């Protein structure tokens, strides 16, 4: 082998590339060890546990445009607010994130004078929605993976999630539809947010049932 090919005979800049100062090898070792630990963790029972949070998305159904996206924890709430123009009452429907689904737990037809709404039996909700008058239904249990909202002319529908207030009519216009969907966010997604490209992000549709809500 010629002398110029030997690391100790190379110019300084070549010697640094060929030999390094030991730190490059240390970085490679640490990365390999990190990936190995992550792989073992993902294959363990802990790595296969329930997702840490869920992705909530709102999309324009006509063109698929993403309106809003957020990662929600188990038990967090999503408010759908609209006005029932037939009875002149403001309505609030409250969904909770439970076991990968959006569960409708409460419906409130607000009293126009600010008085407390009477509590009603969940079994009477369908009847009361057509009869009119204020009421407050709790302990409902209607689970959905996605909910489609049709924007009415006078309903003023909006979604309230954490600090975000989303006016659906401003987003899609009269007659448009907004799809609200909840999906799992597995641990691999969290790892990719820390190390982009490390692992693929699986997307799981929790439930395909849809509810049509007119605003």
List the chain pLDDT tens, one digit each, 215 residues. 444 333 343 344 333 333 444 556 666 676 676 666 666 655 555 445 555 689 999 999 999 999 999 999 999 999 999 999 889 999 999 999 998 899 999 999 999 999 999 999 999 999 998 888 999 999 999 999 899 999 987 788 999 999 999 999 999 999 999 999 998 754 444 444 445 444 443 332 222 233 334 34
First vs last C-alpha separation in the chain = 81
Q: Does residue 75 fall inside a structural domain?
A: yes
In 3D space, the residue among 160, 43, 156 whose CA is nearest the CA of residue 95 turns out to be 160
Q: Does residue 61 fall inside a structural domain?
A: yes
58 plus 147 within the same structural domain? yes
Q: Does residue 48 fall inside a structural domain?
A: no
Q: Helix (H) and strand (E) counts for the chain?
A: 5, 13
Q: Are 9 and 2 in contact (CB under 8 A)?
A: no
Q: How far is CA 163 from the centre of its chain?
A: 14
- Which residue range is the domain that position 88 belongs to? 53-214
21 plus 73 within the same structural domain? no
Q: How many domains does one find in the chain?
A: 2
32 plus 87 within the same structural domain? no
82 plus 142 within the same structural domain? yes
Q: Does residue 59 fall inside a structural domain?
A: yes
Q: Could you give the CA distance from residue 159 to residue 215 in angstroms, rounded to a whole number?
A: 11
29 plus 114 within the same structural domain? no
Q: Does residue 119 fall inside a structural domain?
A: yes
Q: Does residue 202 fall inside a structural domain?
A: yes
37 plus 119 within the same structural domain? no
96 plus 160 within the same structural domain? yes
96 plus 149 within the same structural domain? yes
DSSP 94: E
Q: Are 181 and 159 in contact (CB under 8 A)?
A: no
80 plus 179 within the same structural domain? yes
In 3D space, the residue among 168, 186, 179 whose CA is nearest the CA of residue 146 turns out to be 179
Q: Which long-range contacts (CB under 8 A, 24 or more apart) does 189-196 make?
A: 189/51, 190/52, 191/38, 191/42
Whether the full predicted model's pTM is greater than 0.75, yes or no, is no
pLDDT for res 39? 62
pLDDT for res 184? 75
92 plus 178 within the same structural domain? yes
pLDDT for res 34? 65
Q: Which residues contact 65 (CB under 8 A, 6 or more apart)?
A: 59
Longest dimension (CA), the chain: 96
Q: Are 118 and 134 in contact (CB under 8 A)?
A: yes
Q: Could you give the CA distance from residue 44 to residue 100 in angstroms, rounded to a whole number?
A: 22
At 177, list the tokens. 């539809």
23 plus 86 within the same structural domain? no
87 plus 190 within the same structural domain? yes
């Amino acid at each position: 082998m010629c002398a110029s090919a030997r690391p100790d005979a190379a110019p300084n800049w070549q010697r640094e590339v060929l030999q390094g100062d030991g730190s490059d090898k240390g970085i490679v070792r640490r990365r390999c060890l990190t990936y190995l630990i992550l792989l073992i963790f993902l294959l363990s029972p802990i790595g296969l546990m329930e997702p840490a949070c869920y992705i909530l998305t709102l999309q324009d159904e006509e063109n698929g445009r993403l309106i809003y996206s957020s990662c929600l924890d188990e038990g967090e709430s999503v408010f759908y607010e609209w006005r029932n123009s037939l009875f002149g009452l403001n309505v609030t429907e409250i969904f909770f994130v439970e076991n990968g689904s959006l569960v409708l737990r409460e419906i409130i037809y607000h009293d126009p004078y600010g008085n407390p709404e009477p509590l009603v039996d969940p079994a009477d909700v369908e009847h009361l929605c057509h009869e009119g008058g204020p009421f407050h239904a709790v302990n409902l249990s209607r689970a959905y993976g996605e909910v489609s909202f049709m924007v009415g002319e006078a309903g003023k529908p909006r979604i309230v999630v954490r600090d975000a207030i989303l006016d659906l009519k401003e987003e899609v216009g009269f007659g448009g539809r907004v799809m609200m969907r909840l999906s799992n966010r597995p641990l691999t997604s969290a790892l990719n947010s820390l190390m982009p490209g490390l692992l693929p992000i699986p997307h799981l549709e929790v439930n395909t049932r849809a509810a049509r809500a007119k605003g």
